[in-house]
Amino acid sequence: MSLTNVSNLIGYTSQVSNTSQKSEVKKPDSKYGRTIGNPQLSEKAQKYYEELKKKYGDMDFILTSSDMAKSAMDSTASYASDKDTVVVVDEATIEKMANDQDFRKKYEGILENAKSQLSDLKDNLIKNTKDGTGNLKNLGIQINSDGTTSFFAVMEKTNEKISSNNKEQKETDKTTAKKAEKKIDSKSKSNEADKASYTETTTVKASTVDSLMEAINELQQRWMADFAKTPEEKMVGQTIDFRG
């Protein structure tokens, strides 16, 4: 299925590892833990937020200010976590959850389901990952104050740099390889490998876990097809529109 035909797909963006992020995730040095922007909670909401984080201790919560909520998804690649799921939630949502029992029940139920669904998705990805399909970096959910939710996955792969003089460089490498072989230690080889590759991080977003999985599968198919290409083939049509 084409990404443009996935009914609940929200977005599909790609960036090279050195691309700057629009919103920055701050380290857990505030009273709220990890934050984006400058969120402020009432005393009641702060107490509830702490209870929520303890209740879902296997999830990594990131609290955003209301003005940064929309751009928070731009930073998904930087949500490094040792936990299974990242939860991005804005201050207005926490305030409403703290004061509205029905709203709280609804979204705690969403978190409960997401924990199970995203865990299954992660296990499936790890089980079926092959060379050229990239690696899973992050899985998460964003809860919005307008009553909507969105799921995201951050996939990462290493690409070989392709230059216009790739073919000529190969010939040069052949003639010098034997002379240089004895002089290159393992560290030098590692440095050369680093210079010859770059990391591409792609964020897939959808409004359901099922459509997120569909989008990830298509991304992996694209990457696998690219992985199988020769260097000469990779030089043709380098620009890909990941916006769908």
Domains held by the chain: number = 2
Other CB atoms within 10 A of residue 50 CB: 15
Residues 28 and 87 in one domain: yes
The answer to whether residues 169 and 53 belong to one domain is no
H helix or E strand, kind and range, residue 16 = strand 9-16
In a domain, 242, yes or no: no
What integer pLDDT is reported at residue 151 of this predicted model?
Answer: 92
pLDDT of residue 8: 45
Q: Domain check: are 145 and 178 in the same one?
A: no
Q: Within a domain: residue 182?
A: yes
* 78 within some domain: yes
One domain for residues 107 and 189: no
User: Is residue 118 domain-shared with residue 168, that is, in the same domain?
Assistant: no
Residue 169 lies in a domain: yes
Whether residue 141 is found in the same domain as residue 227: yes
Token pair recorded at residue 185: 């230690």
Alpha helices by DSSP H, listed for the chain, are: 43-55, 91-99, 101-128, 166-181, 186-195, 209-227, 231-234
Instruction: Check residue 237 and give left, alpha or beta (phi > 0: left; psi -120 to 50: alpha).
Output: left
The pLDDT value recorded for residue 91 is 95
Q: Are 94 and 45 in contact (CB under 8 A)?
A: yes
Q: Are residues 32 and 73 in the same domain?
A: yes
pTM: 0.68
AA letter at 149: T
Same domain, 59 and 172: no
- In this structure, are 118 and 190 located in the same domain? no
- Are 171 and 98 part of one and the same domain? no
Do 122 and 65 fall into the same domain? yes
Look at residue 6 in the predicted model and tell me its pLDDT: 36
Residue 203 lies in a domain: yes
Phi, psi of 154 (to 5 degrees): -110, 115
Q: What is the pLDDT of residue 235?
A: 53
Three-state secondary structure string covering 111-166:
HHHHHHHHHHHHHHHHHHCCCCCCEEEEEEEEECCCCCEEEEEEEEEEEECCCCCH
Give residue 23's domain range: 3-160+198-234
Q: Would residue 92 count as lying in a domain?
A: yes
Block mean pLDDT (10 aa), the chain, length 244: 39 41 59 92 97 94 91 76 86 95 93 89 77 78 84 83 50 49 50 63 89 89 74 49 42
Give pLDDT, residue 104.
Answer: 94
Q: Do 89 and 167 lie in a common domain?
A: no
Q: How far apart are the C-alpha atoms of 109 and 100, rounded to whole Å?
A: 14
* pLDDT at residue 124 in the model: 82
